[in-house]
């Protein structure tokens, strides 16, 4: 413990063992603690008060070994390059270098689908991700329309985002008006059934804004037992979030 310590602010970031450590005040916390935020690939050091943030920072430095181990367990970030094959909604898609506008070529008798994009490194990755976002929009908007209709809900507005912590979110419509559903484009990297489950889950929120028994009854009526899909997202979420970063 150091006697003279500069004041820390909520949200301050430190570097420990090559990792970003973000300091957070949580008034409901009873003690200082560390946890791994898998999707952001960083450590959160929590303190019960602003005054004790310095203690949380010291704790992070003391536990540098633990932090290094947690980060080493995370899946590698996957940069994208020509020649790679991705699984998009469970179907292979080959990445190809080519000139002209970036584009998606559907699978045909000669081979799997392809994404053609120019450049290399970050430019290539960005162009591929844009194609994946478009694909995510097409597939998820279609599944959303199907499930909203099955539930008798007004078709919601669908948008695609890159949220770090959620696969989808739903805002129900007011007085019978259309609601809105947002999906992470990274669902395109999940098997189709998993992404389809997320669409059913968000559509069920158009009717029930909670996770109570009535909500789950709607989900199961649409896609059956949801537990294996939730387990898949839990087990593979960090890899999907590391993708292309
Ligand atoms: Zn939910």
Q: Running along the chain, 245 residues long, what does each successive block of 10 average in pLDDT?
A: 66 87 94 88 93 94 91 75 94 94 93 92 90 97 98 96 86 88 96 97 96 97 95 86 75
Per-residue confidence (pLDDT) for residue 73, from 0 to 100: 80
* Global pTM value: 0.72
Could you tell me the distance, in angstroms and rounded to a whole number, from the CA of residue 71 to the centre of ligand 1? 28
Q: CB under 8 Å to 147, separation ≥6 — which residues?
A: 199, 200, 203, 204, 222
Please tell me whether residues 57 and 153 are part of one structural domain.
no
Q: Which domain holds residue 34?
A: 13-73
Per-residue confidence (pLDDT) for residue 241, from 0 to 100: 80
Helices (H), ranges, the chain:
53-62, 64-73, 121-151, 192-207, 213-223, 227-242
The number of folded domains in the chain is 2
Per-residue confidence (pLDDT) for residue 77, from 0 to 100: 65
Q: How big is the CA angle at 240 (ends 237 and 245), to the nearest 5 degrees?
A: 130
Is the residue at 79 inside a domain?
A: no
Could you tell me the distance, in angstroms and rounded to a whole number, from the CA of residue 131 to the centre of ligand 1? 27
Query: Pick from 73, 102, 122: which residue ends a domain?
Result: 73
Residue 107 token pair: 């699978």
Please tell me whether residues 94 and 52 are part of one structural domain.
no
Please tell me whether residues 224 and 154 are part of one structural domain.
yes
Per-residue confidence (pLDDT) for residue 181, from 0 to 100: 97
Could you tell me the distance, in angstroms and rounded to a whole number, from the CA of residue 27 to the centre of ligand 1? 26
Q: Alpha-carbon distance 54 to 231, whole Å?
A: 37
Q: Which of 137, 95, 135 is nearest to 116 (CA)?
A: 95
Q: To 10 degrees, what angle do helices 121-151 and 213-223 make?
A: 100
Residue 56 token pair: 């949380």
Per-residue confidence (pLDDT) for residue 150, from 0 to 100: 97
Is the residue at 5 inside a domain?
A: no
Q: Which of 225, 163, 238 is nearest to 194 (CA)?
A: 225
Please tell me whether residues 38 and 143 are part of one structural domain.
no
Is the residue at 69 inside a domain?
A: yes
Could you tell me the distance, in angstroms and rounded to a whole number, from the CA of residue 232 to the centre of ligand 1? 16
Could you tell me the distance, in angstroms and rounded to a whole number, from the CA of residue 234 to the centre of ligand 1? 14
Is the residue at 78 inside a domain?
A: no
Please tell me whether residues 18 and 114 are part of one structural domain.
no
Please tell me whether residues 46 and 135 are part of one structural domain.
no
Per-residue confidence (pLDDT) for residue 163, from 0 to 100: 77
Please tell me whether residues 113 and 17 are part of one structural domain.
no
Is the residue at 52 inside a domain?
A: yes
Q: Are strands 91-97 and 113-117 parallel, antiparallel or unpaired?
A: parallel
Could you tell me the distance, in angstroms and rounded to a whole number, from the CA of residue 200 to the centre of ligand 1? 10
> In sequence order, what DSSP letters do the residues of 107-162 get, joined into one string?
-BTTB-EEEEE-SSHHHHHHHHHHHHHHHHHHHHHHHHHHHHHHHTPPPPEEEEE-
Is the residue at 146 inside a domain?
A: yes
Please tell me whether residues 45 and 152 are part of one structural domain.
no
**Residue at token pair 């909500």:** 215
Please tell me whether residues 65 and 95 are part of one structural domain.
no
């Amino acid at each position: 413990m150091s006697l003279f310590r500069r004041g820390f602010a909520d949200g301050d970031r430190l570097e420990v063992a090559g990792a970003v450590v973000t300091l957070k005040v949580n008034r409901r916390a009873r003690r200082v603690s560390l946890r791994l935020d898998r999707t952001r690939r960083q450590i959160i050091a929590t303190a019960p008060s602003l005054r004790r943030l310095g203690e949380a920072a010291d704790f992070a430095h003391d536990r540098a070994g633990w932090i290094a181990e947690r980060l080493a367990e995370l899946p590698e970030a996957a940069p994208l390059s020509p020649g790679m094959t991705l699984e998009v909604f469970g179907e292979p898609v080959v990445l190809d270098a080519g000139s002209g506008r970036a584009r998606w070529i559907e699978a045909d008798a000669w081979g799997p689908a392809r994404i053609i994009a120019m450049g290399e490194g970050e430019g290539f990755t960005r162009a591929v991700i844009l194609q994946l976002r478009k694909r995510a929009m097409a597939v998820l908007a279609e599944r959303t329309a199907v499930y909203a209709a099955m539930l008798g809900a007004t078709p919601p507005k669908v948008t695609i985002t890159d949220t770090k912590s959620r696969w989808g979110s739903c805002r129900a419509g007011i007085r019978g008006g259309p609601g809105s559903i947002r999906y992470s484009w990274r669902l395109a990297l999940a098997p189709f059934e998993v992404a389809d489950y997320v669409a059913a889950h968000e559509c069920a929120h158009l009717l029930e804004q909670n996770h109570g028994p009535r909500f789950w009854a709607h989900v199961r009526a649409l896609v059956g037992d949801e537990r294996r899909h939730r387990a898949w997202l839990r087990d593979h979420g960090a890899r999907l979030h590391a993708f292309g970063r």
